[in-house]
Amino acid sequence: MGQRVIGIETSCDETSVAILEVDAKNVNVLHHEVASQIPAHAVYGGVVPEVAARLHVAEIVSLLDRALGTQTPFDRFDAIAVTRGPGLATALRVGIEAAKTLAFVSGKPFIGVNHLEGHLASAWMSEANRQQWQFPVLALLVSGGHTELILMKDFGSYRVLGRTRDDAAGEAFDKTGKLMGLGYPGGPMIAKFAEKGNAKAFDLPRPMLHDPSLDFSFSGLKTAVRLVWEKLSRSEQQDVKTLADVAASIQAAIVDVLVAKTLAAAAKVRPRCIAIVGGVSANRSLHETMSQRMRAAGEVYSAVHLLEPARGYHTDNAAMVALAGAWQIHNGKYHDWKRLDAKPELDL
């Protein structure tokens, strides 16, 4: 039997608890629940840390109760994994305190997980990906808070090759979506409008595309979108076709840069697999463009597998946290729960 790990995630705007049974080849999801706070934050147009922490407090006990049941709750898991960072300090602490309480009363091993490693692990959640998986894996981690190119040499062995110098890709989607009045989060809404739009309708910049580094920058794009938007008349701003064209142009600019930089990194490090993970990996256009350009390059990428998280594991969830915890435990790493604190700025 594999190791059963309970995972707890409260780094941003999802409260989530999962129990996974993990062995060297398989991942069995015994329980998984995500309570999204998106409707509460949408009212403010973005995540409000104080509201996030309060809602995690309100949700966490009932999520744990549903995961563990009431009879013999501690028989359901062998170890506890919790996100320790990066994320919102007060939000992280809710999950950490819950996990510490579980460790205290159950006496079971405890591990603090890096949320970014959780996103990397989300690609391993899919059986098809596990079959194709070969190191080195080049991961494009694109979320609301992060945009990083990471070389995974093994489980637990990571090198950051490039990262954003300002806004993350998800933030670029969210901020431009907000400007267009599409609500929070903007990413899924821009993707939806973009389906019917012309990506060439507006000429937007592709920041850092020709820069030799593997870094990104999205704040200039946000400014360019603002200029385009402000030139439109009131009625154009409310016209569905125009909204679709602006959305498609924004999406194309972001996707172009993400794909080009990932392939530039791939040319340097020659990975066996390319994984796209994090909330923005739910974007179909990103996946399709990456896949098309890899095919167009012919021989070069013919043996490279493109991996993405299974449905439901793109955005924040506790299953990926439990799995990253299981990887660490497999490598003999544990934490003393009495000493572990949140690390809001944690990096890989």
Report in angstroms how near the CB of residue 11 gets to ligand KG4 at its nearest: 7
DSSP state of 266: H
CB 236 within 8 A of CB 228: no
Minimum gap (Å) between residue 217 Cβ and Zn ion? 20
Q: Which residues bind Zn ion (CB under 5 A)?
A: 143, 316
**Residue linked to tokens 């076709």:** 241
Q: What region, left, alpha or beta, does residue 35 occupy, with left being phi > 0 and alpha being psi -120 to 50 degrees?
A: beta
Give the residue, chosen from 95, 109, 112, 185, that forms a contact with ligand KG4 under the rule CB under 6 A.
Answer: 185
Instruction: Kindly state whether residue 191 participates in binding ligand KG4, applying the rule CB under 6 A.
Output: yes
Number of residues lying near ligand KG4 (CB under 6 A): 19
User: Would you report the helix, strand and coil content of the chain in percent, each value rounded to 5?
Assistant: 50, 20, 30
Interface residue with ligand KG4 among 148, 174, 215, 245 (CB under 6 A) is 174
**Distant-in-sequence, close-in-space partners of 124: CB < 8 Å, separation ≥ 6:** 27, 130, 133, 323
* Residue 250 in the binding site for ligand KG4 (CB under 6 A): no
Q: Which amino acid is at 186?
A: G
Instruction: Specify the residue, 3 or 219, whose C-beta has the smaller distance to ligand KG4.
Output: 219
Phi, psi torsion values for 200, nearest 5 degrees: -100, 5
* Minimum separation from the CB atom of position 270 to ligand KG4 (A): 27
CA distance 151 to 139: 6
Q: Which of the residues 114 through 153 are near ligand KG4 (CB under 6 A)?
A: 143-145
Residue 7 engages ligand KG4 in binding (rule: CB under 6 A) = no
Find the residue with minimal CB distance to ligand KG4.
Answer: 279
Q: What's the rounded Cα separation, in Å, for the pair 321 and 31?
A: 13
Q: Which of 5, 6, 8, 12 binds ligand KG4 (CB under 6 A)?
A: 12
Q: Does 20 interact with ligand KG4 (rule: CB under 6 A)?
A: no
Residues making contact with ligand KG4 (CB under 6 A): 12, 143-145, 170, 173-174, 185-188, 191, 278-280, 282-283, 315-316
